[in-house]
Amino acid sequence: MCMREPIRDRERLQHIIEAADTIMEHTKGVSFETFLSDKLLYGALIYYTMVIGEAGYKLSREFTEGYNDTPWSDIAGMRHHIVHGYYKVDNRVVWNIITNDIPALRVRVQKYLDEIDWAKWEIQHKQY
């Protein structure tokens, strides 16, 4: 049996950045009505929103507790709600998350990536 290398916090944060960038790129000039009517766009934006939630969920407890100025449990909960409660998702709430919360999250996550000494972090938290 082949064991995969665990993905470290830095890589999870990079996944959030990549997903946020994709969301932001594909929502420029897009209205809420277009978001709802373009099923491929809708599906892609929902998918990348779920990626952000899953990446946030997979961050180590040490990271989320150490950087608790970000609502990590809400981010993971959003993904859980979309996946398991897909039939009762409020599209206006999702649109607000996509257009307001995710750009702000991207800024915060980029700050973490830029300011943390990752070599030191990975050694201290055995992520090497």
CB atoms within 10 A of CB 5: 6
Active-site residue, from 8, 12, 15, 79: 79
- Give catalytic status of residue 84 as yes or no: yes
Q: Which one of 84, 92, 106, 108 is the catalytic residue? A: 84
Is residue 19 packed enough to be buried (19+ CB in 10 Å), middle (13-18) or exposed (0-12)?
Answer: buried
Q: Please, are residues 70 and 108 in contact by the beta-carbon 8 Å criterion? A: yes
Helices and strands: H and E segment counts in the chain: 8, 0
Alpha-carbon gap, residue 55 to 84, rounded angstroms: 17
Is 92 labeled as catalytic in the residue annotation?
A: no
Q: Which residues are catalytic?
A: 79, 84
